[in-house]
A and B are shown apart, each in its own frame.
Chain A
Amino acid sequence: MIPQEIYRTLEAIVGPENISQDPEIRQAYRNKDRAFINPETETLGTTPDIVILPATTEEVQKIVKVASRYKIGYTPSITFWTPQAGARFEGCLHIDFKRMDSLEIDAKNMNATVGAGVNFAQLQAEALKHGLYTVVPGGGSQVGVIPNHLLFGFSPLTYRAGLAPRRIMGVEWILPGGELVRLGSFASGSDGFWGEGIGPDLRGLLRGHIGWLGSLGIVTRMCVRLLPFHTAKLKPMQMDRHTFFMLPTDRQKWYNFSCPNKDVMVEFMYEIAHAEIAAAMTRVPIAWRYIARSGSKEQFWKLWPEDPEEKRKEVAEFMINRVMLIGYASEKQLEYEEKVLMAIGEKLGCTLRRTRQMDGSWMQSGDAVTMWYLTGTFMSTTGQLDSLDASVQSGVEFAKMKKTYTPPLMEDHGDRGWFQMNDFGHSGYLEFILHSDQDAGPEEGLKITEFYHFASPKLVAAVGGLNFFNQIMSPLGHDSPLYGPNYGDFARKVKEGLDPDNVSNPPGVLDTLDKVIDMNPQLKAMKDW
């Protein structure tokens, strides 16, 4: 337990109402067996000793200095989305940022400066009022703006709104030792409108293709880029988890095209990018199409078996290119882009289908929870970013491998995953999702873990994929020699240089899975690197 004198020191920083050792409060922050099927929380998950809720950067800095002085490990979090956002070691100081909810929009210069506790629902709602938008990630609108920009930050809208590392501007960052560092234009003044550094861009320490998951200090304030949107109103409908926007179809519209096969669909996507049109384009996996028609887990399991297996196989083979057009400038822009889109579709023999003109959860995602409808759990095996060709072919390879792990994985008839264009067509994306029974027994659970933490990373490396989820799903001991090479050596130099006492969310992102595997004899027996 963290000693009482330290508790009192921390209490003096935030006030007694914003710190607790109450067992019931601490239980609410328990990380054991939480979230995804994941040996990490099973093996390491625990309950924090202290929960503390700072309100300002200054308070966070003082807390981190106390932790650093007494070598107390701390875990920063806001929405607990990942296993590493909870206590995974004894004597954990859990820092919850929900009080740090400042949000300032600079509409003219298209940015927002947010505190660590702001989520995407808040940010997008404010941005839209100014004719601007951000990328609400697939994780949902409840996800924290800062951690998501630092970690993933992905949706079909990244086709025009860019990848998350590009949207990180000025940053206030408390290093593990308690030093406050200002990056980007915060280094030169009070306005965080710009992200690039003075000389070398030190955002390069803060995230690569993933972030540190809290193991390299705490970002307390961040300015993020917003992008110009259209000025027509999105009409909110339903006020529950199925909330959505009706699209103003003279400015924003979905188009679903049936493509004769995968290759045509890929050509379709490339050609749209070469034509420099569209706001998003994506291929929808089979399960999502049933989810879209379901209001609950029960409804999903009514709809799914209703279709005979042959029908589901047929649906899995369907290649529907779902394209969003936006008339950023005017209605005329949308008319122009529609004309181009139809010409390309016709040239390639693709057929326009009906689709509902609702945002489909990508403007203000409220339905991330529906991913759990299927089996009570889900995991993304890979989130690869490279050319669309590489992404799609990787999906084919994953689908082949998945067959040998089905069951216990849920049968999806060889579906090749979610793929889409990205970065105005300069890159593509594959996310390969799997579902399994949340109540799977130990033997099945081990097979799922084998697929997730052993077989998948090996396949990703073999096809040359750079997985978004590296270090969440793949041990550094396996990955590091294969990428860079030895990216882990350079990352570790940074970690040891800035956090020599390893107090920032241990075990750090570099060590977690290797540690879990070493602690678990069955997993250790599978290790062959």
Chain B
Amino acid sequence: MNLKEELMKIVGPEAVLDDPDALEPYTVRHSLWPTLWPNVVVSAGNMEESQKVIQFANEKKVPLKPSSSGVHFRESGPILGGILLDLSKMKGITKIDNRNRKVTVEPGVTWGELTEELKKQGMRTILPLVPHTDSSVLVSCLERDPSVIPMFEYGELILSMQMIWPTGELFRTGSAATIGFGKEGNLAEGCYPYGPGPIDAMRLMQGAQGTMGTALWGNIKTERLPVVNKSYFIPFEHSEDVVEAIYAILRKRIGHECFAVNSVDLAGLLAKDMATDYVKLEKKLPPWSVLMILSGAKYFPEDKIAYEKEALFEVRNHVFPFTEILDVIPGYGSTKSLPGLLRNPWPAGETYWKERFKGACQDLFFITTMEKAPVFVDTVRQIAAEQGYDQREIGMYIQPIEFGAGAHVEFNLFYDPDNAEEIETVKQVYTESIKEALRLEAHFTRPYGKVTADLVYEKAASYTMLAKKTKEILDPNNIMNPGTLCF
């Protein structure tokens, strides 16, 4: 069988690439470890083509990895070669439903495109921390990127979706599942996420890095874009104080955006110019900052902000009375620009904020409880020091989730991608930190890359056993992105 020729019969000759220069953009950028390339990239423009390619791969037992984004940051490349199914041309924002607060997007729709489109209607989706403008919204939601708004009500962003199982069957989830969905007389609008029946394909697809199926469109939650905001900057010396403050604030169910970053990450986000501005800013910022935005709602927005502000300051008086709640960021200026920064992806055409500092960044992240976050901060700092990495250059980000019931804790290890010694050091810091974090019961819900996945799954024997069984049941030929997780 000539793989390329067979695929060209399905999607046409222009949509199949195997030239090394053409394949390069599909590899992971700035990977610490060698990235293997696909044998061939197939660009699918619609559902029918995607399904035929997956059916072909399943029939011929050829590995296949779906890809939607214009950028590839994470260590989840096609490690066994095969077909890379490029869905980035599927860019439909096919329905904006403001009544039920959702939008239907295809996998190629990026944060940049969707944010602009929704803004025209006074709506927004809930973003992760300043995502790359070219990254896929649907993949971000499927991969559970944490949102900067820890409100429980704004969580669980995927309401329903259409997907293809590894064996090639089309399937719709949640209340979009009826066969007449979208047709006359069928009232369903796809607003409910779970099922159909006793298994939940949406859950199985989440965090699966393309190993359990391929999403073709998703109904994603939207919210009203607030027009009145009040942004605050709360400085802290110690991460222990940060988490106690956030626990108390979020217990009141107030505010929209709320998270903590250290001075390295905040300077990277705020600096206008890295050459001149970054160092000055980083020195003026406190070790830790909590950023918080109170937002008005549709009715009497100022009144809403007023009661939330009162509650916030009451918490301050009781829990962190010696800390100021400010509307000015030292070395930067007013907090008024924070909604613009946090409700948009990083500006197109500018070097992404995680790559501004040294050119590349290896993220290390996991889920833990808020109260344990400081333990991990100390641990990673200590390991960095032991490995010869300047701990003052580590970016740190604590994102409370669901009112602080859990936290996404992230360490950004910045490095020069052309410096082999630095790469080696970061590898060591990264690997040793994972081992120690696992010992401390960090919960790695998204293990990207073989090094991470091997370490994490080894510590979770029963989960790994069931994940493997599930994979065998749903993907008997193991075609979907094999070798990526524990199978």
The answer to whether A binds B is yes
A positions within 8 Å CB-CB of B: 108-111, 131, 160-163, 165-166, 175, 179-185, 187-191, 193-194, 196-205, 207-212, 216, 225, 227-228, 270, 273-277, 328-330, 332-333, 335-336, 339-340, 343-344, 384-390, 393-394, 423-428, 461-466, 470-471, 479-488, 490-491, 493-494, 497-498, 509-510
Cβ contacts A to B, 25 pairs, < 8 Å: A109-B406, A166-B155, A179-B465, A184-B443, A194-B406, A200-B203, A200-B206, A200-B208, A200-B467, A208-B200, A274-B101, A277-B297, A330-B314, A336-B303, A386-B188, A390-B189, A425-B100, A426-B100, A426-B101, A462-B180, A484-B171, A487-B171, A487-B195, A491-B197, A497-B473
Chain B contact residues, CB within 8 Å of chain A: 99-102, 144, 152-156, 159, 165, 169, 171-172, 174-175, 177-181, 185-209, 211-212, 221, 224, 247, 250-254, 297-300, 303-304, 306-308, 310-311, 314, 367, 369-371, 402-406, 438, 441-447, 453, 456-457, 459-460, 462-467, 469-470, 472-474, 485-486
CB distance from B444 to the nearest CB of A (A): 6
Q: Which residue of B153, B211, B405, B441 is within 8 Å of A424 (Cβ)? A: B153
**Docked-complex contact A491 and B198, CB < 8 angstroms:** yes
| Shortest Cβ distance from residue B163 to the other chain A in the assembled complex, whole angstroms | 10
Residues of A within 8 A of B188 (CB): 386, 390, 463-466
Are A463 and B203 in touch, CB under 8 angstroms?
no
A109 adjacent to B165 (CB under 8 Å): no
Q: By the criterion CB–CB under 8 Å, are A198 and B159 in contact?
A: no
Residue of B nearest to A185 (CB): B443
Q: Is the CB of B441 within 8 A of A188?
A: yes
Verify A166–B447 contact, CB threshold 8 A: no
Which one of B191, B250, B465 has the greatest number of beta carbons of chain A within 10 Å? B191
Known A-B contacts A274-B224, A329-B254; A228 and B462 likewise in contact (beta carbons under 8 Å)? no
Most buried by B among A166, A190, A200: A200
**A386, B189: Cβ atoms closer than 8 Å:** yes
A340 touches B144 (CB 8 A): no
Knowing A181-B463, A205-B470 touch, does A426 contact B102 (C-beta < 8 A)? yes
Q: How far is the CA of A116 from the CA of B251 in the complex (A)?
A: 28
Bound: A462/B186 CA distance, A: 6
Is the beta-carbon distance between B174 and A466 smaller than 8 angstroms? yes
**Which single member of A184, A198, A471, A494 contacts B444 (CB below 8 Å)?**
A198
- Chain A to chain B: the 6 pairs with minimum beta-carbon distance, closest first: A204-B203, A209-B195, A189-B441, A464-B188, A208-B195, A464-B186
The secondary structure that dominates the A interface is mixed
Q: Which residue of B lies closest to A429 (CB)?
A: B192
CA distance A184 to B467 in the complex (A): 12
Q: How far is the CB of B180 from chain A (nearest CB, A)?
A: 6
Q: Which residue of chain A is the closest to B169 with respect to CB atoms?
A: A486
Q: Are A333 and B307 in contact (CB under 8 A)?
A: yes
B372 to A, closest residue via Cβ: A191
Shortest Cβ distance from B370 into A: residue: A109
Is A490 within 8 A of B165, CB to CB?
Answer: yes
Q: Which residues of chain B are near A198, meaning CB under 8 Å?
A: 207, 443-445, 447, 456-457, 460, 463-464, 467
Complex CA–CA separation, A86 to B308 (angstroms) = 50
Are B187 and A389 interface neighbours, CB within 8 A? yes
Q: Hey, which chain B residues are within 8 Å of A108, CB to CB?
A: 247, 369, 371
Q: How far is the CB of A222 from chain B (nearest CB, A)?
A: 15
A424 to B190, CA, bound (A): 15
Which of A197, A333, A471, A510 sits near B445, CB closer than 8 Å? A197
- Whether the Cβ atoms of B470 and A200 lie closer than 8 Å is yes
Contacts of B201 in A (CB 8 A): 204, 208, 490
A277–B459 Cα gap in the complex (Å)?
A: 43
Contacts of B464 in A (CB 8 A): 198
- Minimal beta-carbon separation of B112 from chain A (angstroms): 24
State the CA gap A56–B146 with chains docked (Å).
Answer: 35
| Inter-chain contact A389/B189, CB cutoff 8 Å | yes
Contact call B444/A188, Cβ cutoff below 8 A: yes
Report B352 CB to chain A, min CB distance, Å: 25
Q: Which residues of chain B are near A343, meaning CB under 8 Å?
A: 299-300
Shortest distance between the CB of B400 and any CB in chain A (Å): 11
List residues of chain A with CB within 8 A of the CB of B212. 200
Select one of B191, B198, B470 contacting A202, CB under 8 A.
B470
* A179-B462 in contact (CB<8A): yes
On whether A464 and B253 interact (CB within 8 A), knowing A165-B194, A202-B466, the answer reads no
Question: Would you call B203 and A461 a contact (CB within 8 A)?
Answer: no
Complex contact A199–B196 (CB within 8 A): no
Q: Report chain B residues within 8 Å CB of A190.
A: 441
- Partner among B197, B303, B306, B370 whose Cβ is within 8 Å of the Cβ of A470: B197
Task: Determine the distance from Cα of A424 to Cα of B464 in the docked complex, in whole angstroms.
Answer: 35
Q: Is the CB of A187 within 8 A of B460?
A: yes
Residue of B nearest to A106 (CB): B369
- Report whether B200 and A181 are in contact in the complex, using a CB–CB cutoff of 8 Å: no
**Partner among A203, A344, A428, A498 whose Cβ is within 8 Å of the Cβ of B299:** A344
Residue in contact with B485 in the complex, picked from A199, A203, A465, A493, CB distance below 8 Å: A199
Measured between beta carbons, the chain A residues less than 8 angstroms from B456 are: 188, 198
A472, chain B: closest CB distance, angstroms: 11
Query: In the complex, how many angstroms separate the beta carbon of B436 from the nearest chain A beta carbon?
Result: 13
**B402: chain A residues within 8 A (beta carbon):** 110, 225
What is the distance, in angstroms, from A190's C-beta to the closest C-beta of chain B? Answer: 7
Please indicate the chain A residues that have their CB under 8 angstroms from the CB of B202 in the complex. Answer: 204
Q: Which residues of A contact B144 (CB under 8 A)?
A: 196
| Known interface pairs A188-B438, A208-B194; 17 further A-B residue pairs with C-beta atoms within 8 A, sorted by A's residue number | A108-B371, A110-B403, A161-B152, A166-B156, A182-B460, A196-B207, A200-B206, A227-B403, A274-B101, A275-B297, A329-B254, A387-B191, A390-B187, A426-B159, A463-B187, A465-B188, A481-B179
CA distance A498 to B197 in the complex (A): 17
Q: Nearest B residue to A165 by beta-carbon distance?
A: B194
List, in ascending order, chain B residues with CB within 8 A of A464's CB.
175, 178, 180-181, 186-188
> Residues of B contacting A274 with CB < 8 Å?
101, 224, 298
Flag if B153 contacts A162 (CB, 8 Å).
yes
Residues on A with C-beta less than 8 A from B459 are 188
Query: How far, in whole Å, are A510 and B193 apart by their CA atoms in the complex?
Result: 21
* A465 contacts B196, C-beta separation under 8 Å: no
Chain B residues closer than 8 Å to A165, beta-carbon distance:
193-194, 200, 203
Task: For A335, list chain B residues within 8 Å (CB).
Answer: 307
Contact with A162, one of B156, B253, B307, B371 (Cβ below 8 angstroms): B156
* Cβ contact within 8 Å between B198 and A210: yes
Task: Name A270's contact: one of B99, B102, B194, B442 (CB within 8 Å).
Answer: B99
In the complex, what residues of A have CB within 8 A of residue B446's CB? 199
Chain B: CB-nearest residue to A225: B405
In the complex, the answer to whether A197 meets B191 with C-beta atoms within 8 Å is no
The closest CB in chain A to the CB of B473 belongs to: A497
A333 near B465 with CB under 8 A, answer: no
Kindly report which residue of chain A lies nearest to residue B99, judged by CB atoms. A270
Known: A109-B371, A487-B177. A494 touches B196 (CB 8 A): no
